[in-house]
C-alpha cells in the first residue's frame, strides 16, 4: 500500500458502500464511526481492541470515549486525507469490535455488548 491516493467525498461514499461499512461516514474530512456499548467495561474493551489494531497497523485513530459510547475517527494525516490505509483499518475495527461467536464453540455474551449501527 504505497499508494498515497486521497479519496474525494464521492469516492469515500462509494468505497464505504463497496466495503459494506454502512455505519461509517465522512464528516469534516474524517472517516467516522460511533459504537454503542452496554456500559463502561464494554467500552474499554472496544477501545483496547481498536488501540491494538491501530498500533499493529502503525496508523492511529482519534478516539472519543464515554460511558457506553466510543467514537472512532480515521484520516491519514501525512497524506492530507482519507486513503486505503484508513479503509483497511476501518474494516479490521469493524470485524474485531462487532465479532461474535457463531454459537458452535460458545454461545457468546448474552448482553448487547457492542451494538452494530447505533
Domains of the chain, with CATH numbers?
9-102 (3.30.1360.20)
Q: Tell me: the pLDDT tens digits for 5-30?
A: 999 999 999 999 999 999 999 999 99
User: Sign of dihedral through CA atoms 62, 118, 102, 46?
Assistant: positive
Q: Do residues 59 and 51 touch, judged by C-beta distance below 8 A?
A: no
Which pTM does this prediction carry? 0.88
pLDDT, tens only, 78-110: 999 999 999 999 999 999 999 887 767 677 677
Q: 19: Cβ–Cβ under 8 A, 6 or more apart, which residues?
A: 87, 90, 91
- Reported as type and span, the H/E element at residue 115 is strand 114-115
Amino acid at each position: 500500500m504505497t499508494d498515497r491516493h486521497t479519496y474525494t467525498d464521492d469516492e469515500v461514499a462509494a468505497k464505504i458502500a463497496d466495503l459494506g461499512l454502512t455505519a461509517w461516514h465522512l464528516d469534516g474530512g474524517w472517516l467516522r464511526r460511533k459504537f454503542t456499548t452496554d456500559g463502561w467495561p464494554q467500552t474499554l474493551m472496544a477501545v483496547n481492541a481498536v488501540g491494538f489494531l491501530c498500533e499493529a497497523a502503525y496508523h492511529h485513530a482519534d478516539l472519543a470515549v464515554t460511558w457506553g459510547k466510543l467514537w472512532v475517527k480515521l484520516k491519514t494525516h501525512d497524506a492530507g486525507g482519507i486513503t486505503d490505509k484508513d479503509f483497511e483499518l476501518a474494516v479490521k475495527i469493524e470485524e474485531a469490535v462487532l465479532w461474535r461467536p457463531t454459537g458452535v464453540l460458545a454461545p457468546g455474551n448474552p448482553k448487547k455488548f457492542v451494538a452494530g449501527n447505533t
